[in-house]
Amino acid sequence: MSSSPHSQDIESFCLKLPKIELHAHINSSVSEKTFRELLRKKDVGDGQLASVESSVFGPKETTFKAFDDCFDIFPLIHKVIDSPEAIYKVTSDVIAEFEADQVKYLELRTTPREELLTSMTRRSYVATVLSAIKDSKKKNLDIDVRLLLSIDRKSTVKIAWETVLMASELAADSDRIVIGIDFSGNPKINDAKDFIPVLAHAKSSGLKISVHLAEIVNPLESHQLVEIVPDRIGHGTYLHPEVGGLQESVEFVKKHKIPIECCISSNLRSLSVAKLKLHHFGYWYKQSHPVVLATDGKGVFQCSLSGEYILAAKAFQLSQEELWQLSEKSIDYIFADDKTKKKLKSQWAEIRNSKFQKTI
């Protein structure tokens, strides 16, 4: 079926639209091209190579068979991205790919990881990511890149404290690249309550925090996490009462105007949302609550930020002006300082006047 002229206009508009990406995990954002290049450097046979590649990058538009399946993919990716050289290449390529998709400001997130076989420590891992980000600036790419250090809930509270300490140190000594903490991981593992003191300390020490919550129906845990007043919420899929959440949580989020990072393709392909039109983006957007579209892991979930805008436009009948406003308002939800926000808003105004004056 061919797309309508209006549909084609929206797609073209979204591809050119300047965008903000605030929820992008580095390892799961690896492109198939980069992953294949890294995989071919491994000393494995063609059969094993093809098997790993097909496990990570199945046919486009396919979904996982169950929500847990996407978490089974990540260890496969980590086995390939297991050295400073590999993480440097992945980070560099991911930045360049987002820049090509008209992303002007990017917040990457990643869990500091150690690999015994390659002698990579958590600190050297983060140092390599920072090196790739700094080197990307030297290439004069039109993108501002920052970093959140992730706490994986399957790890220990001790490691969580170490991650916050590392983030605090780097926030003061990384050219303002490290700006916060992400709390993420398989929501079925461990009790998030154990990590709340760590997250609260991170917030009180001046770090911004983004917290994955309500990815599954768990209203008590979701509300406990909401009450620490995170600076942004990752997913929030089952936060509202129509899908098993608490109205109390909704009212709290609305009262504090906590922005919600909506990752449509990720939620559809991981089966946490059954249909596009049922995505919770619509619930919050219709209430004029702060929302930002994001990719989560553009490689694993085979998506792009332009594509997320196209999906939202088609599912919720958004006009070009509404899409522009959705993008521009995202600037208010970044973790960088007011000076950066002001610079981005000036950039948006300049782009609108020079490239979009006749279309919006």
Q: List the catalytic residues.
A: 215
Tell me whether strands 232-235 and 208-213 are parallel, antiparallel or unpaired. Answer: parallel
**How far apart, in whole angstroms, are the C-alpha atoms of residue 165 and residue 169?**
6
- How would you label 111-140 residue by residue, b for 16+ Cβ within 10 Å and e otherwise? bbbebeeeebebebbbebbbebbeebeeee
**How far apart, in whole angstroms, are the C-alpha atoms of residue 22 and residue 350?**
22
**How far apart, in whole angstroms, are the C-alpha atoms of residue 335 and residue 78?**
27
Nearest to 183, CA basis, from 150, 155, 141, 217: 150
**How far apart, in whole angstroms, are the C-alpha atoms of residue 227 and residue 39?**
43
**How far apart, in whole angstroms, are the C-alpha atoms of residue 14 and residue 65?**
30
CB 232 within 8 A of CB 22: yes
Single-letter amino acid code for the residue at 289: H
CB count, 10 Å around CB of 40? 11
CB 212 within 8 A of CB 262: no
β-strand partners of 296 = 24
Q: In the structure encoding, which two tokens stand for residue 36, read together? A: 């294949």
CB 26 within 8 A of CB 91: yes
Number of H helices, E strands in the chain: 15, 8
